[in-house]
Homo-oligomer: A and B are copies of this chain.
Amino acid sequence: MTSTPLRVALIGAGRIGTNHARILAERLPGVRLTAVADPVPGAAERLAGPFGARAVTDVHDVFADPDVDAVAITSSSVAHADLSVAAAEAGKAIFCEKPMAMTLAEADRVVEAVERAGVPLQVGFNRRFAADFVAAHDIVASGGIGTPHLLRSCTRDPGLADPGRVPAWTIFTQTLIHDFDLLNWMNPGARAVEVTAVADALVAPDFKHGGLIDTAVVTIRYDNGAIATADASFSAAYGYDVRGEVFGSAGMVTIGDPQQLTVRHYASPGLTAPTMRADTELLDAAYVAEFAAFRDAVRDGTPPAVGPRDAREALRIALGCIESVEAGGTVRLAS
């Protein structure tokens, strides 16, 4: 705690940027939030002010600032790759929200840029830092379930506020990409080779013509024979539901529970219990842990636990899903 703090500039003052700014500013010893950059007039100011950080509208001011050690990219997804490349070229350590890129070509550009610059890049796959998933991974990695045969992951969000504003394929590139990374992580050393996605607009069918997909099931075949499924829905009536399962030759590990607390209420109709209503209830500690891991990786010069090549692997599956839905069947994944 006595060493020089890591000075981080946040790029993108939206919903997730607001969440991350608070963590960087208030919950991480050894980290200082020095600047918030956002092109929208007032947005950077509003977020930076209470934390005593500098507000910036031109992101290049951040890259040019010698007092910025690292950037946290929480801008619109389409800008992630370009900003990552620019940050790498400026020699900044990079925390980049998922997805790191929207195409494999973009992802390759980021990989090359950070490797050339020799800067660390950590991707915002927060489940890798959630205690439950970490414990499950430890069991898998130590052989506790043998060789993985069947894997599952699901993400169901509590609601779809404005279906007309959801970009096409969001369910794959923004939502299920978390599950794809998780499945890759839980099947160590294996690589996805084939994908089948079945998807529809069941929550908001009126928006299907505009490209909305709000419900999806994905089957992934890995080169070690393991078969994984992932599903997502944009509207879980009961709240927020993220669960995982890895079944292998020697056992199974399951992770997650839609229940929020240990409270159980037994009354005349039976048992009732509260469910989680927001992802932050599930992931609050994980958000802190992922930035602590980033801080430590930068400080120690060690590679981040989840880097640009991992991001490319998850993206590869997401893009395969889009292709599968368009083709109406199973597709081999590009390497």
Q: Spell out A's residues near B (CB within 8 Å).
A: 1-2, 26-27, 29, 50, 131-132, 135-136, 139, 144-147, 149-150, 156, 194, 196, 198-200, 202-203, 205, 215-217, 219, 221, 225-227, 229, 231, 233, 235-239, 241, 247, 249-259, 261-275, 328-330
- Contact assessment for B267 and A262 in the assembled complex, using a CB-CB cutoff below 8 Å: no
Contacts of A267 in B (CB 8 A): 144-145, 237-238, 250-252
- Residue of B27, B150, B269 near A272 (CB, 8 A) is B269
Contacts of A269 in B (CB 8 A): 272
- State the number of copies, please: 4
- Contact assessment for B249 and A225 in the assembled complex, using a CB-CB cutoff below 8 Å: no
Tell me whether A261 and B131 are in contact in the complex, defined as CB-CB below 8 angstroms, given that A237-B146, A251-B267 are known contacts.
yes
Q: Give CA–CA (A264, B257) in the complex, Å.
A: 11
A-B contact list, 10 entries, CB within 8 Å: A145-B265, A149-B202, A202-B226, A217-B219, A236-B252, A237-B251, A237-B266, A238-B251, A238-B268, A253-B264
**A302 → chain B, closest Cβ, in Å?**
24
Q: Give CA–CA (A221, B200) in the complex, Å.
A: 10
Q: Which B residue sits closest to A215, measured CB to CB?
A: B149
- Contact assessment for B263 and A253 in the assembled complex, using a CB-CB cutoff below 8 Å: yes
Q: Which B residue sits closest to A51, measured CB to CB?
A: B1
**A55 → chain B, closest Cβ, in Å?**
15
- Contact assessment for B150 and A233 in the assembled complex, using a CB-CB cutoff below 8 Å: yes
- Residue of B217, B253, B261 near A265 (CB, 8 A) is B253
Pick from A144, A237, A263 the residue with the most CB of B within 10 Å: A263
Q: Give CA–CA (A329, B272) in the complex, Å.
A: 38
- Contact assessment for B271 and A238 in the assembled complex, using a CB-CB cutoff below 8 Å: yes
Contacts of A236 in B (CB 8 A): 247, 252, 266
Q: Give CA–CA (A94, B145) in the complex, Å.
A: 43
**A30 → chain B, closest Cβ, in Å?**
10
Contacts of A274 in B (CB 8 A): 135, 270-271
Q: Which B residue sits closest to A49, measured CB to CB?
A: B2
- Contact assessment for A229 and B229 in the assembled complex, using a CB-CB cutoff below 8 Å: yes
Known: A1-B50, A139-B265, A252-B266. 18 other contacts (CB 8 A): A132-B263, A146-B237, A194-B198, A198-B227, A203-B249, A205-B225, A215-B225, A215-B227, A217-B219, A217-B229, A233-B247, A236-B266, A238-B251, A238-B266, A238-B268, A253-B265, A258-B271, A272-B272
Q: Give CA–CA (A287, B330) in the complex, Å.
A: 39
Q: Give CA–CA (A202, B226) in the complex, Å.
A: 8
Contacts of A147 in B (CB 8 A): 202
- Residue of B205, B259, B270 near A275 (CB, 8 A) is B270
Pick from A205, A219, A259 the residue with the most CB of B within 10 Å: A219
Contacts of A328 in B (CB 8 A): 330
**A124 → chain B, closest Cβ, in Å?**
22
Contacts of A254 in B (CB 8 A): 262-264, 266
Tell me whether A255 and B263 are in contact in the complex, defined as CB-CB below 8 angstroms, given that A196-B198, A196-B219 are known contacts.
yes
**A230 → chain B, closest Cβ, in Å?**
10
- Residue of B136, B221, B256, B273 near A270 (CB, 8 A) is B273
